[in-house]
Structure 1
């Protein structure tokens, strides 16, 4: 399906709003008594079933390589979701979203350490901004240089988000189709989630308020996980990298706005300044500044 650049931008904007809202629904799921493993088990199961219902023809032709790569990417995504969800029990959606945005800075460092791909010079400036932003946002200076528990879990989750991005960029072309990617990642997320429930969360199942948990889980699984990813992949296929990056980096902004509107966060100088510095650090990493300057110069 061929779409225009404006339509692609609209898809990316909608996907970004959905990703931003996911922090709210995750928070609501944790408040209903669900623990991280159960949330991700339900989320992955519903998303995989929905995907199979719509695209079973493509999925039925998956290859052994699809299964192996799905297990790898699914593991990194599951650990990211698990730690992020666990962190949301102790921190706010806005703080979680701003810290999660650091994956664009962590990814180049991982590529440098394990793939020997030297980071661009702008990476060091972005890291400095990110550290300052993190210190302001998390109030680390008044906590004896220790991150609060929820913020620490979220920061560790960010490492796995960075790994997921790296695995997608290096291996996604080997998948037989986009829908197989989404199905396999969701399936492995469900598998890892149910294993976690069986091993460590069975005693918590009686504490879950299922009527309260049902709606956020369905929205997370179908609207955000499946449709959000589909819109993002389709949008990125029909627009340039700079435009896509500028839109997608607004995820933290939408998460913060929704969190404030729903009363999870208050507008404080720390939230505004710390969050702005983290968004700026992410923007520096995602945007090709040289190409942006040349484009601006050309339009003049």
Structure 2
């Protein structure tokens, strides 16, 4: 699919809105008694089935390279989810979301170390703004940031989120089709999710209220994993990894907005100011500053 950078940015932006809404449906699923392994197993399996039904012609022509790339992203994706979810058991959601957002700073560092891509000057300022915005949004300064075991696990997960951003930008386009990548992401998310469920969560199966869990799981699988992940994969193939990361970091902002709209949280100055700073950091990466009158050389 051939799209321009503006269309790619729009896809990433809508993907971020979907990812932000996912926290609500995850909360509904966990409230219904589902654990993370089973949630990922269901959403990944449904995503893979939908992908195959719609794009079976491309998927039936899977190459060895597709299988290799699919396994790599499957492992990266699973470890990011697993470590982040495990860390949440031992830390607060605010600290978790703030630490997770640090992937926006880790991705350029990995690109510099392994791909020798030196960040643009404005990248340093945009990343600094993004970290400040997340600190304000999560109120982590007032609550304190003393690293505990859960924080360490979350910090490890940010490495895999950074790697996923880079993978979608640099390696996924080498596959035979974006839909093949999406299918493989869902497939391996399902496989690792089922292994986790049967290995550690099987005893919780009888506690699940399926009438409450069914709708959020379907929305997570179809609306978030299939559509959101699909838009992210296509969008990232046409933009750079750092810019994509600074768009996707808005996920926490949109999660807070949805939480306020649905009555889970109240509107606070931190949400307004933190979100505004994040939007500014993201916009900064999308604008050619040299084209603005203020930055033009006289």
Same fold (TM over 0.5): yes
Superposed displacement of residue 145, structure 1: 3.6
Q: CA 1:8/1:112 → structure 2, altered by over 3 Å: closer, same or farther? A: closer
Q: CA deviation at 1:168?
A: 1.9
The 2-side partners of 1:29 and 1:44 are apart by 15
Partner of 2:228 in structure 1? 228
CA contact (8 A) 2:243 2:286 kept: no
Evaluate the alpha carbon distance shift between residue 8 and residue 111 of structure 1 in structure 2; reply closer, same or farther with a 3 A threshold. Answer: closer
1:127: how far off?
4.5
- Decide whether aligned partners of structure 1 residues 15 and 115 sit closer, same or farther in structure 2, where only a CA change above 3 A counts: closer
Contact 2:169-2:236 within 8 A present in 1 as well: no
2:132 corresponds to 1:159: no
Closer/same/farther in 2, CA of residues 140 and 123 from structure 1, 3 Å limit: same
Contact 1:20/1:255 (CA < 8 Å) preserved in 2?
Answer: yes
Please report how far the alpha carbon of residue 81 of structure 1 lies from its aligned counterpart in structure 2 after TM superposition: 2.5
Q: CA RMSD in A?
A: 3.8
How far the C-alpha of 1:16 sits from its partner, in A, is: 3.5
Q: How far apart in 2 are the matches of 1:113 and 1:240?
A: 16
2:275 is the counterpart of 1:294: no
1:216-261 deviations in Å (ceiling 9; x for gaps): 1111111211122334455667899999888766544332211111
Task: Confirm whether residue 81 of structure 1 aligns to residue 78 of structure 2.
Answer: no
Whether contact under 8 Å (2:25, 2:216) holds in the other structure is: yes
How much does 1:161 deviate? 1.4
**Superposition deviation, residue 158 in structure 1:** 2.9
Q: Is 2:66 the counterpart of 1:66?
A: yes
What is the rounded CA distance, in whole Å, between the counterparts of 1:239 and 1:127 in structure 2? Answer: 17
Q: Which moved more, 1:38-47 or 1:224-233?
A: 224-233
1:35-114 pair list within 5 angstroms: 35-86=35-86, 91=92, 100-114=100-114
Deviation string, structure 1 residues 148-198 (Cα, Å, up to 9, x no partner)? 777765554332211111122221122111111111111111111111122
1:217 aligns with 2:217: yes
The residue that corresponds to 2:263 in the other structure is 263
Alpha carbons 1:138, 1:148 under 8 Å: kept: no
Structure 2: give runs of 5+ residues left out of the alignment: none
1:40/1:193 contact within 8 Å kept? yes
Q: TM-score, normalised by structure 2?
A: 0.79
How far apart, in 2, do the equivalents of 1:128 and 1:239 lie? Answer: 21
**Alpha-carbon distance in 2 for matches of 1:143, 1:5:** 39
The one-character-per-residue Cα deviations of 1:72-105 (angstroms, maximum 9, x if unpaired) are 111111222334445667655x886666444332
Q: Distance in 2 between matches of 1:203 and 1:145?
A: 35
Corresponding residue SS for 2:224? helix
Contact kept, 8 Å, 2:40 with 2:190, in 1: the verdict is yes
Mapped pair 1:17 → 2:17: yes
Gaps of 5+ in 1: none
Q: Provide TM-score, normalisation by structure 1.
A: 0.78
- State the match for 2:206 in structure 1: 206
Deviation at 1:10, TM superposition (A): 6.3
Alpha-carbon separation, structure 2, partners of 1:5 and 1:163: 21
Instruction: Say if 2:129 and 2:277, in contact at 8 Å, map to a contact too.
Output: yes
| 8 Å CA contact 2:165, 2:241 repeated in 1 | no
